[in-house]
Chain A
Amino acid sequence: MIADRIANGFSPFVIPFLLGMAFVIGYCIVGMVRIFLQLPGEDRKKFLVSLITPATIWKNVRDLFLDCLFHVKLWKRKALLGYMHSSIAFGWFMLIVLGHIEVALFLPHRLKTFYYPIFFNYFVAEEGRTLKGSVFFFLMDFFLLVVLSGIILAMIKRIRSRWFGMRRTTKLTAVDTIGLYSLWLIFPLRLLAEGFTAHISGGSFLTMPVNWVVQHVFSSPGFFDNNLHMLPTWWAYSIDLAVFMCVLPFSRYMHIPAEMMLIPLRNAGLKIRNARKGFAKAEVYSCPSCGVCIDACPMTVKKANVNYSTVYLNRQIRRGNEEKIEEIADKCLMCGKCSTVCQIGVQGPELRVAQRAVRKYAVPGDFSSVNTVPLTLSAGQGTGNVAYFAGCMTALTPGISRGVESLLKKSGVDYKFLDRDGGLCCGRPMLLAGRLKEANQIMAKNREIILSSGCDTLLVSCPICYKVFKENYDLEAAGVKVVHHSVYFESLASSGKLRIEHDLLNLVFHDPCELGRGSGIYEQPRNLLALAGNLVGAAQEKQMSICCGGSLGSLTLNFQQREDLTRNALKNLCADVPDIIVTACPLCRSTLRRYADRPVLDIAEVVDRFAVTGGLERSA
């Protein structure tokens, strides 16, 4: 049986641990309450309701396990990285849980002491060899081994990050470094401490050999007469835990408690409304500085831009460094790749838009003088339920709208061209600049024009327009379906209204950020292209595709800086030696063309080349 070894169940070495624990719990409770209070009223209500809704409760529990303990997303990325993180998180979790179970089973009267499960092996003695405890001894050693293996991998990762699928890791702050070393030390110290007491408390395959070594090294007579020699290692273990818990709130390890708050907030469906408060704060503090977003960010092809990746935005927001926050907020392309790869789901672009939105402009945008009457009048004329909105950027690349018009004619679609003689901007660039009031003015005018056309399908060529029409115009409610031309012509082709002859050209598809990651459209353009030619792959594509560098999301990247990004995107696209680079965005097309060594065309132009006049329906 296992029994108390220390009659009063206390030893002063637990004090550092208790103080550290009290500090960290107090800090986190205050932090959580503050985040909650910073939420706007309706968000607060939404959050509370979600906490008692069975579906979200289940989702919260599942996400807490899958994300915080098992790091499923990292596993999918790179198994070794996933193992490293989950072995530490899950192993530690199991040590704590098993510690509590041990106390509950063997010494239930000690359950109310906070420290017993942590320092169990110090306080107990095994009386007679029973099998009862040995399962636990084995499990405890097993999970300790799991954690230790993770720690060893973490050490290797500091030197050989490439083995873990990462080219660059984050630079640590001073506090992070203290946190890192104290975390690494916790488990070897625990092993040592338990090794010193294993002949009394019992142990298993890890602690017993350590105990054997200890007994032999310190075998001078009288050393084991009292048990005082055990104390130094237990003190060290407790102090190290205390150090870790004291630096935790100021280091990246804050992500451990913060993520527990973030998951329910996210599952409640909250959105970022302020870059510093409430939900955004939970996101920022949940970032463990894993650095995965650094390699993902297209800006980092230039070394200097590493500091503008999302991990450093989070760090600067935590520090409150206004100047840096502004700079980082303005540089980003808003391509969304960091959010895609982030295990926590930190919304890099949304955080930045929220930050941009607090800026004051002495000259506000004013579009009241824009006269939309001629546009609404011409939109109202003609027949056809399909209204084509080429977008202002397409005006610089008229080949695209020519291709679209030609394809519409070939498939016998009756349409009207809303902005043949020029139209307004869709408002998304203004939105991305954080100027919501201005964007709303533009959007209201455009909406009026679109609705006056009486169409039921709004065909667009620009993914930037597509995204904002879908998300901010509320057109579906007015009975207007928004569709991008790549999707539209794919459906015409599959229904036989458009016939395309196959050619032997090798085509690669560049996913425009707003169409791919922004709107989740990856397959239709590829299906359509496969009809016209031989589709080849890019080195990174679909969710992982690389922004062309022309994005209007960035406010400060200049022409010269963008060149490197574009060249990098082109290199990525030419991995399989395509004959033609195909995209589905006027801005990508213009940008890529600037430095490409082979033709860059829009999908409408390419398909139009191989589309046969008169599809099945018309020849029938």
Chain B
Amino acid sequence: MIDFGFQKAKSSTVNLDNVDMRLYYALAEKEPDIKRCMECGSCTAACTSGPFNGMSLRQVIHGLQRGTDVRQMVSGCMLCGKCSMVCPRGINTRHLLLTISRIYTK
């Protein structure tokens, strides 16, 4: 193969067939607000905890949509409410976070 001096990046295609969405759907039923999120990241930018423990609500929501385990991140939320003040979609983020904390079955 000719060396062009760069390589193809590893595929970042998401194969949704391999994603376990059950938790997300269960959550969306209880908390339909989550479907309104456009993953703008305002919440993360405003987050009080973020700089200290990496908390990012945008990543939590994204993770749930990709079927990854977000428990550790969620546990770092201090419920300060700044994310709900800045969310352009008017999502009740604190309640969303509380519901996420309850929906896991340990």
Q: Interface of A with B (CB < 8 Å)?
A: 330, 359-367, 369-371, 392-393, 395-396, 422-425, 427, 429-430, 433, 435, 442, 550, 552, 555-560, 587, 590
Beta-carbon contact of A371 and B103 below 8 Å: no
Beta-carbon contact of B48 and A425 below 8 Å: yes
In whole angstroms, what is the CA distance A576 to B101 when docked? Answer: 46
Beta-carbon contact of A422 and B101 below 8 Å: no
In whole angstroms, what is the CA distance A73 to B48 when docked? Answer: 43
Task: Choose one: A364, A422, A557, A558; the contact of B75 (CB below 8 Å).
Answer: A364
Known: A362-B104, A392-B48. A433 touches B86 (CB 8 A): no
Beta-carbon contact of B92 and A367 below 8 Å: no
Task: Choose one: B78, B94, B105; the contact of A442 (CB below 8 Å).
Answer: B78
What B residues does A366 contact at CB under 8 A?
Answer: 72, 75-76
Please indicate which of the listed interface residues A362, A364, A422, A555 has the most CB atoms of chain B within 10 Å of its own CB. A362
Beta-carbon contact of B75 and A363 below 8 Å: yes
Task: Choose one: A330, A363, A442, A552; the contact of B74 (CB below 8 Å).
Answer: A363
The chain A residue with its CB closest to the CB of B46 is A396
In whole angstroms, what is the CA distance A369 to B71 when docked? Answer: 14
What A residues does B81 contact at CB under 8 A?
Answer: 393, 429, 552, 587
What A residues does B80 contact at CB under 8 A?
Answer: 392-393, 425, 429, 552
What A residues does B103 contact at CB under 8 A?
Answer: 362
Known: A367-B53, A371-B52, A555-B95. A425 touches B79 (CB 8 A): yes
User: What 1/0 mask marks residues of chain B from 59 to 100 whose CB sits below 8 Å from any chain A CB?
Assistant: 000000000000110111111111011100011101100101
In whole angstroms, what is the CA distance A395 to B82 when docked? Answer: 9
The chain B residue with its CB closest to the CB of A431 is B79
Task: Choose one: B46, B52, B77, B91; the contact of A365 (CB below 8 Å).
Answer: B77
Known: A392-B82, A396-B86, A590-B85. A361 touches B77 (CB 8 A): no
Please indicate which of the listed interface residues A363, A369, A395, A442 has the most CB atoms of chain B within 10 Å of its own CB. A363
Nearest chain B CB to A344 CB, angstrom units: 31
Query: Which interface class (under 10, 10 to 19, 20 to 34, 35 or more) fits B?
Result: 20 to 34
User: What 1/0 mask marks residues of chain B from 24 to 40 whose CB sits below 8 Å from any chain A CB?
Assistant: 00000000010000000
Task: Choose one: A433, A558, A560; the contact of B98 (CB below 8 Å).
Answer: A433
The chain B residue with its CB closest to the CB of A430 is B79
Q: Which 5 A-B pairs have the closest CB atoms?
A: A559-B90, A425-B80, A425-B78, A362-B104, A363-B101
Nearest chain B CB to A424 CB, angstrom units: 7
Nearest chain B CB to A179 CB, angstrom units: 38
Task: Choose one: B75, B95, B100; the contact of A556 (CB below 8 Å).
Answer: B95
The chain A residue with its CB closest to the CB of B90 is A559
- 9 sampled A-B residue pairs with Cβ under 8 A: A362-B102, A366-B75, A370-B76, A393-B81, A429-B78, A430-B78, A433-B98, A558-B92, A559-B84
Beta-carbon contact of A363 and B71 below 8 Å: yes
Beta-carbon contact of B76 and A396 below 8 Å: no
Can you name 11 extra interface pairs (CB under 8 A) apart from A370-B53, A424-B78, A425-B78?
Answer: A361-B102, A363-B102, A364-B101, A370-B49, A393-B81, A429-B78, A430-B79, A555-B98, A557-B92, A587-B85, A590-B85
Known: A392-B82, A396-B82. A365 touches B48 (CB 8 A): no
